[in-house]
Structure 1
Amino acid sequence: MEYIRLYTRQHENSLYELERTGSIRNKSIYVRLHMGPDADYFAERYRSFVAMAEERIPRPEGVEYPIWCAISKDTARLPIKGELLYCLRVPKDQVIFFDGQKWDYVLNYLYIPSDELDKSAFKQELQARGLPSAYNIIKGKYAGFYPDLEEKIRASWPRIFDIEEPSRFRVQANLWEIRQEWIEDIIYPGEDFVQKTQGKLDAFGQ
Structure 2
Amino acid sequence: MILWTIQTEEAWEQLNKKGCITGVMDYIEPSWLSSYHWMMQQMKDRIGSPPCKHLFPVWAWYQWDSSNRKKPDLRSAGHLPKNVKGVRIEFSCDKNAGLLSDFTLWHYVLNYWYLPESMADDEKFDAEIKKQGTTYFEAKPHPTPKIHQKIVRSWNKIFDLDWDKTDISVPKYQKSIQATIWQLRMEQVRSCKHFKAR
Check if 1:166 corresponds to 2:172: yes
Q: Which protein is bigger by CA-based radius of gyration?
A: 1
Partner of 1:197: none
Counterpart code for 2:176:
R
> How far is 1:20 from its partner?
3.4
Task: Within 5 Å, give how 1:51-200 maps onto structure 2.
Answer: 51-58=41-48, 59-62=50-53, 64-72=55-63, 74=69, 76=72, 78=74, 81-116=84-119, 118-130=121-133, 134-138=136-140, 143-144=142-143, 146-163=144-161, 164=163, 165-167=171-173, 169-189=175-195
| Number of equivalenced pairs | 175
> How far is 1:16 from its partner?
3.2
Structure-1 separation of matches of 2:113 and 2:98 = 25
Structure-2 separation of matches of 1:168 and 1:94 = 24
TM-score, normalising length: structure 2: 0.74
Whether the 8 Å contact between 2:62 and 2:100 is mirrored in structure 1 is no
Q: Alignment identity in percent? A: 23
Whether the 8 Å contact between 1:26 and 1:63 is mirrored in structure 2 is no
Structure-2 separation of matches of 1:134 and 1:184 = 44
> How far is 1:10 from its partner?
0.5
- Structure 1 pair 72–103 and aligned structure 2 pair: CA distance change class (3 A): closer
Partner of 2:40: 50
Whether the 8 Å contact between 2:8 and 2:84 is mirrored in structure 1 is no
Partner SS for 1:13: helix
> How far is 1:42 from its partner?
2.4
Unaligned runs of 5+ in 2: 164-170
Whether the 8 Å contact between 1:77 and 1:85 is mirrored in structure 2 is no
Deviations 1:107-158 (A, max 9, x none): 1111122345543442343344455x5332426xxx53x3321222122222
TM-score, normalising length: structure 1: 0.71
> How far is 1:167 from its partner?
3.3
Whether the 8 Å contact between 1:9 and 1:83 is mirrored in structure 2 is yes
**TM superposition outliers: structure 1 runs of 4+ over 3 Å:** 72-75, 114-121, 127-131
Unaligned runs of 5+ in 1: 33-38, 191-206
Q: Bigger shift: 174-183 or 69-78? A: 69-78
Partner of 1:200: none
Partner SS for 1:189: strand
Counterpart code for 2:61:
A
- Structure 1 pair 111–49 and aligned structure 2 pair: CA distance change class (3 A): same
- Structure 1 pair 110–43 and aligned structure 2 pair: CA distance change class (3 A): same
Q: Which protein has greater RCO, CA pairs closer than 8 Å, 6+ apart?
A: 2
Structure-2 separation of matches of 1:162 and 1:120 = 22
Structure-2 separation of matches of 1:19 and 1:170 = 29
